[in-house]
Amino acid sequence: MNDAGGPIVVVGAGAAGLMAAIFAATSSRRVILLERTKDGGRKILISGGGRCNVLPSRLSPQQYVTASSPNTMRNMLLSWPLPEQQRFFEHDLRIPLALEASSGKLFPESNRAKDVRDALVAEARRRGVDIRFDSAVHDILPAGQNRWKARLADGSSVDAMAVVVATGGLSVPATGSDGRGLRILERLGHTINDTYPALTPLTADSPAHAALAGVSLNVRLTAPLMKGAFETEGGFLFTHRGYSGPSVLNISHLAVRSRLSGGPLQPVHVQWTGQDFDSWDELLREGGAAQIATVMRRRLPARLADALIAEAGVDAQRTLAELRRDERSRLVTMLARYPLPWTGDEGYQKAEVTGGGVALGEVDPRTLESRLNPGLYVCGEALDAFGPIGGYNFAWAWATGRAAGLGVARITG
C-alpha cells in the first residue's frame, strides 16, 4: 500500500463518512477513518425507529432544499443513481432491501438498522480502511503542498495527503453531532450558509391540543409563500408539546427559518382529510337530519372532530339542516384551512438533519474537492442540502460520500 506523502484521512464515521472511506479505498493509498464515538453510524442506528429507511423508492431533486444552486445540488445527488445505490446495498453489502408499500421506503429485510451500520463498517475494513474509534478531531490544518494535519482532541495528530470532512451537522447531538466539522471548514475559508434545525417537530407555548396527544392521521399541510405555496402530505401526530409526524417535519424548515429571522411566524394551514374546502362546504350545505358530530366523526378521529367543533363554537348536537351560514363557514375553515397554532420547535435535539452548510458552489460537484483548498473534500450533512423524511437524506449521504471517496482516490492515485 502506497503511503508516500501520507494517507487519505476521512473524518466522521456516519453514513457519508463510511461510504467515503469505502470508495476512497479503491486507491492504493492507505485510508484512515477517524470517528469521535466508540462505534460510529449512530444516526443510522436510530433512523426509521431503529429500522433504517435506507433509501426512498423514488428520487426527485425538486424535493430537496438548498440555499445554493439547485442545479449543482441535482448533479451531486444524481451522481449515483438510485438503482445503483440499491444494487450496492443488496449485492456488495449483502443487505436485502424490502419496499414498504404504504410509505414508499426501502428498509433492510431484517428491519434492523444495526445490520446496515455493521455491514458498512465491515465493508470498509474488508477494503483495508483503518478505522479509529474514540478519535475526536479537534482541527484540520494545511501543512504545505499536498499535506494536511488532523489534530485530535487528545493532543496527537495524523498527517495526510488529503482529507475528507464527512461530519459537521448539528442535529441529534446525542449521537455525537456538535457542528465541529462546519467550524473547521469555516476556519479554512468556506462560506457556511446559515444553519438551522430541519425536519424537527413544532411546538406551542400553551399547547392548545395537549388533550389530543397521541391522535394521528394523514393530512395535507400548506405554507403560503410570497411566490406560490409549499405543500406536503403525510402522517400528522399530536404530541403533548405540539405537533409531529412526517408532514410536520417536512414543512418545519419554513417555520424554523421564519422564527429565526425574527419576522412574522410562517402560517401553516391544515386540511385534515382528503376533502378540500369546496367539498366540505358542499357536504355541509346539503343539510339533512344527521348531527354535525356524527358527520365529522365518520371522517376524522372522534377526539379531533369534537375539538374542531368546539373550537368553531358550534353545538355538536345540531343537525346539518340547523347550521347557520356563519357556523358552516367556521366549520369548513376548521376542516380544510385550519391555522396550526405553532409557536416554536424542538430544535436540533430532535431535528432529523441540519439545514444550511457549506455553499455547494465552493466544491467541485464531480469530486467534491474544495475549490478553495485542494486536497480537502466535503460530503454529507456538512453540505448545504437536505431532503424530506423517508430515506432521502441517506440517499444524499450515500451519493456525496461515494463521490468524495472516488474523487480523493483518483486525485491521490
For residue 260, give the CATH number of its domain.
2.40.30
Q: pLDDT band for position 391 (50/70/90)?
A: very high
Taking the C-alpha atoms of residue 332 and residue 308, their distance in angstroms, rounded to an integer, is 10
Q: Which residues contact 259 (CB under 8 A, 6 or more apart)?
A: 265, 266, 344, 345
Q: Does the pLDDT value for residue 132 go beyond 80?
A: yes
108 and 53 share a domain? yes
Whichever domain contains 94, its CATH number is: 3.50.50.60
Predicted local confidence at residue 201, as pLDDT: 98
Please state the rounded mean pLDDT for residues 164-179.
93
Predicted local confidence at residue 88, as pLDDT: 98
Q: How far is CA 211 from CA 88, 252, 270, 278, 307, in A?
A: 46, 22, 18, 29, 9
Q: pLDDT band for position 4 (50/70/90)?
A: low
| pLDDT single digits (tens) 233-282 | 999 999 999 999 999 999 999 999 999 999 999 999 999 999 999 999 99
Q: Is residue 329 part of a domain?
A: yes
Choose one of 318, 345, 372: the last residue of a domain: 345
Which of 92, 346, 25 is closest to 204 using CA atoms? 346
Asked if 70 and 407 touch (Cβ cutoff 8 Å), the reply is no
Q: pLDDT band for position 3 (50/70/90)?
A: low
Q: What is the DSSP string of 63-96?
A: G-B-SS-HHHHHHHHTTS-HHHHHHIIIIIS---
Please state the rounded mean pLDDT for residues 215-220.
98
Average pLDDT, the chain: 95
171 and 86 share a domain? yes
Question: Across the strands, what pairs with 220?
Answer: 233, 271
Give 215-218's long-range contacts (Cβ < 8 A, gap of 24+). Answer: 215/301, 215/303, 215/304, 216/245, 216/301, 217/272, 217/300, 217/301, 217/304, 218/247
| pLDDT single digits (tens) 275-332 | 999 999 999 998 789 999 999 999 999 999 999 999 999 999 999 999 999 999 999 9
The residue to which cell 452548510 is assigned: 357
Q: Which residues contact 198 (CB under 8 A, 6 or more apart)?
A: 65, 171, 252, 253, 256, 351, 352, 353, 354, 355, 386
Query: What is the count of structural domains for the chain?
Result: 3
Within 188-245, where are the H helices?
A: none
Cell of 309: 367543533
372 and 302 share a domain? no
Phi, psi of 370 (to 5 degrees): -60, 135
220 and 171 share a domain? no
Q: Is residue 16 part of a domain?
A: yes
Phi, psi of 161 (to 5 degrees): -85, -30
12 and 158 share a domain? yes
Predicted local confidence at residue 146, as pLDDT: 81
- Collapse the DSSP code of 267 into the 3-class scheme (helix H, G, I; strand E, B; otherwise coil) and give the result: coil
Cell of 193: 450558509
Q: How far is CA 268 from CA 49, 256, 262, 405, in A?
A: 26, 12, 17, 40
Taking the C-alpha atoms of residue 121 and residue 151, their distance in angstroms, rounded to an integer, is 23
261 and 291 share a domain? no
Choose one of 345, 379, 394: the last residue of a domain: 345
Domain of 133 in residue numbering reads as 8-196+355-412
330 and 366 share a domain? no
* Reported pTM: 0.95
181 and 43 share a domain? yes
Q: Which residues contact 163 (CB under 8 A, 6 or more apart)?
A: 8, 9, 10, 11, 140, 148, 150, 375, 376, 377
Choose one of 293, 325, 345: the last residue of a domain: 345
40 and 175 share a domain? yes
Taking the C-alpha atoms of residue 21 and residue 9, their distance in angstroms, rounded to an integer, is 8
Q: Does the pLDDT value for residue 356 go beyond 80?
A: yes
| pLDDT single digits (tens) 13-23 | 999 999 999 99
Predicted local confidence at residue 294, as pLDDT: 95
94 and 113 share a domain? yes
Q: Is residue 211 part of a domain?
A: yes
**Pairing relationship of beta strands 148-152 and 137-142 according to DSSP bridges:** antiparallel
Predicted local confidence at residue 165, as pLDDT: 98
Predicted local confidence at residue 108, as pLDDT: 98
Predicted local confidence at residue 135, as pLDDT: 97
292 and 264 share a domain? no
Asked if 257 and 232 touch (Cβ cutoff 8 Å), the reply is no
Taking the C-alpha atoms of residue 226 and residue 70, their distance in angstroms, rounded to an integer, is 19
187 and 307 share a domain? no
| pLDDT single digits (tens) 56-85 | 999 999 999 999 999 999 999 999 999 999
The residue among 5 and 229 whose pLDDT is bigger is: 229
Q: pLDDT band for position 403 (50/70/90)?
A: very high
